[in-house]
Structure formats: structure tokens, C-alpha cells
Amino acid sequence: MPEPGGYAAAMSRALALAHNGPATGINPRVGCVIVGVDGSIIGEGWHRGVGTAHAEVDALSKLGHGAARGATAVVTLEPCNHTGHTGPCSVALIEAGVARVVYAVSDPGHASGGGAARLRAAGVDVIGGVLARDVQDFLDDWLTAARLGRPFVAVKWASSLDGRIAASDGTSQWITGTAARQRVHEQREASDAIIVGTGTVLADDPSLTARGDGGELLAAQPTPVIVGTRSIPSDAAVFRHPHSPVILPTHDVAEVLRDLRARGFRRAYVEGGPTLISAFVAAGLVDEYLIYLAPSLIGGDRLALGDIGVTTINEQRRLEITSVEQLGSDLLITARPRQAAASTHSEGT
């Protein structure tokens, strides 16, 4: 059996398996490998979504009776310690007779966490933090949602270099080019929900679908969420979306996120308009900013953001830029609130 520091390769394999799981939904993507007493991998598994076997149980199911006794389970996330759609993985591992459990990142869930302590209490050797940074980056949106009890929130806007999202007559198509717009559709596809205000629906009549280069619908579609109290025409394009839209007649963005969490949504993609985006920013409910900048100047008062509660320069919302990417002639700047970015970087250290 490898020494405690020798499980990086097995954890890397478990992380590769985790990528097979669904990128949306309330459950995390988790991978697991079972390492035999001779150091070879004897079982593999991953979590396929709500109601299916967790990664540890999936891996154990590939083994014959008693084959896991004395083995090591290497799993990307701390084994769960609660009964939901399935039983606790910590108990399954104990009953299988594993001698050691190696995991990367602790489970921050109030109900699901604590598996490591339960395993130790049963006499299982437990090692945490193996490849923690890699797994933290992979599970970032789920970990944030689990820690905060709400969906991970990404806000997106496209603007000119001087921060305008439309000309004075209201026209806005197209500020950015095709490469940037296609990236937006890919980001929509990776989200559980796409959120806009009633003002955007009334002004632009968007379909809120995720589409490919040829206009075809992509395999995964975000659920459209319309926030606000104004009525929407019954023939609006959003009602032809593959998923029925969620209509939330409120201006309370925290209430919106509570509703979406109850629906099992992990990642919310806020597209606008500026009133709605500003409300999320002002409430401190943004985890990631996706800002598309076009090399143009428009001028006027059609700004990407309105009032976010900053009255003096000392109150400005400080961000940390995590990446800058060129898409055609446009830039995609990804940023996070500075405090959240610092917390992310310290995870697992």
C-alpha cells in the first residue's frame, strides 16, 4: 500500500472520473478509486446525479464481496455523512472494511459534512488535502453554493470600453463580435439558470437559450428565470424555451436565490439588465463577474451598472481579476470580489 503522500496519481484519476458527472444541479461531481493492498486500482466510480449512487458506492459496487477489505478509497470530496436520496458514504466505506480513506477537499455542508470524523471514530485511517487546490478549482461553484446555501452567481455584461451597453437610442446589437457571443452561449449551457429582469424581456424579447454557431440548440439548456413585477406578453420568445420559465414577481434578489436553491440549482447566470445586475452587486451576491469589453466608444448614459450603494471612493467594490482572454477583437475579463477570491485561494492550504 502506498505511503500517505503517495496518492497524488490515484487522486488525479479520481478527479478525471469526476468530470464525467453532471456540471449542473445541487449535487457535486465526485470521483473515487479503490486502491488495493498491492497499490493497484481495483475499482472506480463517479456520481451521475441526484438519486444515483455516490462515487464511493459506485466504485465499491464494481468489487466482489470482501474485496475492499484493507483497501484505500481515494475520493475527491470528503465522504458524506448523511442520508438523503442515498445513504451515507462514510458508513458504506466502513461496512466495506476499507482501511484508509484519502480525500482532497472537506465537505462544507452542514448536513453532509463530518464523514471524516465518523470514519476516524470507526478506526479508519483518514488523510485529507491531497491535490486540494486542483479539486477546489474543479468544485468551486458547488463548494460556494454549499457553503453559502444559495446558487453560485455569475453576472455577465457586454460593453464598450467606456462601460456603455447600448447607444442613446437603446440599440445594443451587436457591441461584441461572434467569438464573444458564442462564449456567452457556452456559459449559458454550463448554468442551471439564466436570470433576467422583466425590463430585458420587454425590451429585447430574448429566447434565453444556449445555441451553437449555427443557431442550433446546445445539448444542455439553462432554465430561464424572469425577475420583476411587470407583466410579460404571452407570446414572448421565452415561453418557447425548452424549459418552462420560472417567473418570480419580486425585486428581492436574495429571495430569488432562495427559490432557486430550493429547486436544486447550483449555478445562476445573470444576464441583465443593468437594474437587476446592480441589485445583485449592491446586495453582495455576486461570486464571479464575466465582463466582455469591445474596442469601441459609445458615450451617453446607458451604463452597465447603476447605483450599487457606493457613495464615496472608499466604498468602491474591489475585485480581483482572475483571467483576461481575447476573443476575436474583444476581451473577456473574469473577476471576483477580492474577499471571495482570497478565500478561494486559501482553500486547502
Per-residue pLDDT band at 340 (split at 50, 70, 90): low
**Cell match 478506526: residue?**
123
3-state class (DSSP) for residue 348: coil
Q: Please indicate whether residue 87 or residue 29 has the higher confidence score (pLDDT).
A: 29
The strands making up 246-248's β-sheet, listed across from edge to edge, are 246-248, 223-227, 193-197, 267-272, 152-160, 288-294, 330-337, 319-327
Helices (H) and strands (E) in the chain, counts: 11, 13
| Phi and psi based region of residue 131 (left: phi greater than 0; alpha: psi -120 to 50; beta: remaining) | left
| H helix intervals, 233-286 | 253-262, 274-282
Q: Is the pLDDT confidence value at 121 over 70?
A: yes
Which CATH code, of 3.40.430.10, 3.40.50.2300, 3.40.470.10, 3.90.380.10, is assigned to 148-346? 3.40.430.10
200, three cell numbers: 430585458
- Rg of the Cα trace of the chain? 23
Question: What is the rounded CA–CA span in Å between residue 349 and residue 281?
Answer: 29
For residues 32 and 14, is the Cβ–Cβ distance under 8 A? yes
CATH level 3 topology of 4-138: Cytidine Deaminase; domain 2 (3.40.140)
3-state class (DSSP) for residue 112: coil
Domain boundaries, the chain: 4-138, 148-346
pLDDT of residue 91: 94
Query: Catalytic residue among 56, 78, 288, 347, which?
Result: 56
Question: What is the rounded CA–CA span in Å between residue 302 and residue 341?
Answer: 29
The pTM of this model reads 0.86
Closest CA to 75 of 38, 115, 123: 115
Backbone angles phi, psi at 132, to 5 degrees: -60, -40
Beta strands 41-46 and 223-227 are unpaired
Per-residue pLDDT band at 5 (split at 50, 70, 90): low
CB-CB neighbours of 83 under 10 Å: 11
pLDDT in tens, 140-168: 999 999 999 999 999 999 999 999 998 88
Cα-Cα-Cα-Cα dihedral of 88, 89, 95, 101, to 10°? -140
Question: What is the rounded CA–CA span in Å between residue 27 and residue 87?
Answer: 14
Question: Quick one: what percent of the chain has pLDDT higher than 70?
Answer: 94
pLDDT in tens, 167-201: 888 888 889 999 999 999 999 999 999 999 999 99
Residue type, 111: A
Closest CA to 290 of 267, 308, 309, 311: 267
Q: Residue 193 pairs with which residues in a beta bridge? A: 223, 268
pLDDT of residue 341: 55
Give how far Cα 101 sits from Cα of 43, 90, 181, 205, 340, Å: 14, 9, 44, 52, 30
Known catalytic residue at 56: yes
Going by the DSSP 8-state scheme, the letter that residue 229 receives in this structure is: S
Question: What is the rounded CA–CA span in Å between residue 139 and residue 160?
Answer: 32
